Structure 1
Amino acid sequence: MTDIWAVIDATWTAPRTHRTGPFLIREGQGGGQRVSAATSLGDVSSADIEAAAQAMRDLEQTPLFMVRGAQAAFDAQLEALGYVVNDPVVVLQGPIEKPCAEPPPPVSAFPIWPPLHIMRELWETGGIGPERLAVMNASSDPKTAILGRAQDRAVGCAFVSIHDRTAMIHAVEVIAPYRRKGAARNMVRGAALWARDHGATRFATLTTRSNTASQALFASLGLNPVEHYHYRILREEAHV
C-alpha cells in the first residue's frame, strides 16, 4: 500500500531537513508552508514542541506544525499551547486510468523539463517564484512540468513528479482570463498521460479544503479524498 505521506514529501521536497527530538524539521528556504513545517514522528511533550519551535526560529522560520489526519492527540496539545488551525488540506488520489480516459485536445498540454521561461513567468503571476522552483528541482524523478495552451498562447502550467508509482501534481496555475474554461483539466489530463507513460499507476494531488472548484475538478477525473492534514501556527503569528 502506498505511503501517501512519503509521496507528498518526495514529490515536493524540502531543500533540507533536520531531526529535533521526535520532530522532523523542514528547512523551506522560502518554498512555502509544506516544506517549512515540522512533522511529529511519535509521541511528543510540551517541551518537545517548544524545542521544535525554537529550532524553526533558529532557521529564521515561523514555528509551524503539520498535523496529519490521525494525530488527534498532537493536535490537542498544540491547541492547548495556543496554536491555531491554518489551511486545512485534502489529499486526493485515484487510479491513473481515470484522468487518462479522455486525452486533452491537441496542442493543449505539453510535458517540458526543465520549465521554459514563459512557464516561469506564468508561475510567477500566481506567486510561485524561484524558491518553489527550487523545490521542484529537488523533487523525485521522474518529473516534468506541463505547459497549458489555449487560443494559440501559453495560459498555464503545472508540475508533476512520481514516487512509488504514484504521480502527484502540484503548482497548477492558470492565468485569470482562462480559468474555468478547461485549461486546468487539459493540463491534468496531460500530466496523467505523461505519468502513465513513466510507470505511474496512481494519480494524486493536494488542495485546500476551501478550494471547492479544485476539488470538483479532480473528483470529476476520478480522484477521491484519501487523507487530510492542517497546519497549526501560534495565534500571535497568525494575526488572529
Structure 2
Amino acid sequence: MIAAIDGTWPAAATVEAGPWVLREGRGGGQRVSAATARGAIAEQDIGAAEKAMQLMGQRPIFMLTQNDSDLDQRLADRGYVEKDPVNLWVCDTGLLTDRKLPPVTAFAIWEPLAIMRELWEAGGIGPARLAVMERAEGPKTAIFGRVSDRPAGAAFCALYDGIAMVHAVEIAPEHRQKGLGGWMMRAAALWAAKHRAPWLAVLCTKANTGANALYASLGMQIVGDYHYRVLPDKETEES
C-alpha cells in the first residue's frame, strides 16, 4: 500500500536510514513528509527519526498501519496524538467502466488546465501539492469535472504497479451532492483501463463521511487504513 502511495504521490526526497523511510515533503502535506518503519524499532530510533525530520525543517510525523501497533503505542506513550485516520478504497477497474460518461461531464487531461488549478487552490491544494503531482514519474493524468456546463471538480490519478490511484479529489462546494464525484471516478477508471491497470484506488480520511459513502456506493472496498501520529502544538496543549 505504502509503495503505491509513494509511487503515485511522491515525496521530494526519500531516504532509507536504519529502520526508517524518511520523506522530505517541502510543504506537500503529511503523506509526503511522514516517516514509516521498515524494520524493528528501538527506543533510540524514534529520537533519531525526530532529529532527522527536524533537520529537514519538518515537524516530526509518523505514518502507521495496522502492522505498526507496537510503534503506535510507543509514540502514544511519548505524547504523540493520532491524526487523520485514512481509508484505502480499491476496486477492479472494470467495475467502473460499465457506463458511458455523459457528454462534457468528466475528462482525463494532462497538463491540468488553469481552471483546475484554481479549483484545487480553492480547496487548499496549492502549489506545493501541485509540485507533488509534477514529480510523479509514471503515467498520470488529471480529471476535470463539469456540472451544467460549468467547471466543478478536479482530481489527480497516477499509475504504479498496476494500481491507478486517485488523489486530490476536489469538488467546488456549490456543485457537491450532484453525482459528479462518481462520474469523475468513472473517468479515472476509463483512463486506467486504457493503461491496462487492473485496479483503481483512492485514499479518503475516515472523517469525510460523504466521500466514503460515495466510494462504497460505487462498489469499492476498504482494503487497508493508516493514520498519523504527531506531537500536539504548544497552543493546543495550553488551550
* Fold match by TM threshold 0.5: yes
Aligned equivalent of 1:176, options 156, 173, 176:
173
Aligned to 2:61: 64
The alignment status of 1:83 with 2:80, answered yes or no, reads yes
> CA-to-partner distance for each residue in 1:69-118, whole Å, 9 max, x for gaps?
22111111111111110111111111011122223211101111011111
State the alpha-carbon separation in 2 of the partners of residues 123 and 136 from structure 1. Answer: 12
Aligned to 1:117: 114
The alignment status of 1:228 with 2:221, answered yes or no, reads no
Once the two structures are TM-superposed, the CA of residue 154 in structure 1 deviates from its matched residue by 0.9
Aligned equivalent of 2:193, options 193, 196, 200:
196
Aligned equivalent of 1:147, options 137, 141, 144:
144
* Residues paired across the two proteins, number: 237
> CA-to-partner distance for each residue in 1:114-140, whole Å, 9 max, x for gaps?
111111111000010111011011114
- SS of the residue aligned with 1:71? helix
Once the two structures are TM-superposed, the CA of residue 239 in structure 1 deviates from its matched residue by 2.4
> CA-to-partner distance for each residue in 1:175-203, whole Å, 9 max, x for gaps?
11101111111111111111111111111
- SS of the residue aligned with 1:235? coil
State the alpha-carbon separation in 1 of the partners of residues 96 and 137 from structure 2. Answer: 22
Percent identity of equivalent pairs: 49
What root-mean-square deviation, in Å, do the aligned CA atoms of Structure 1 and Structure 2 show? 1.2
- SS of the residue aligned with 2:226? strand
Once the two structures are TM-superposed, the CA of residue 58 in structure 1 deviates from its matched residue by 0.7
Unaligned 5+ residue runs, structure 2?
A: none
Change (3 A) 1:235 1:46: farther
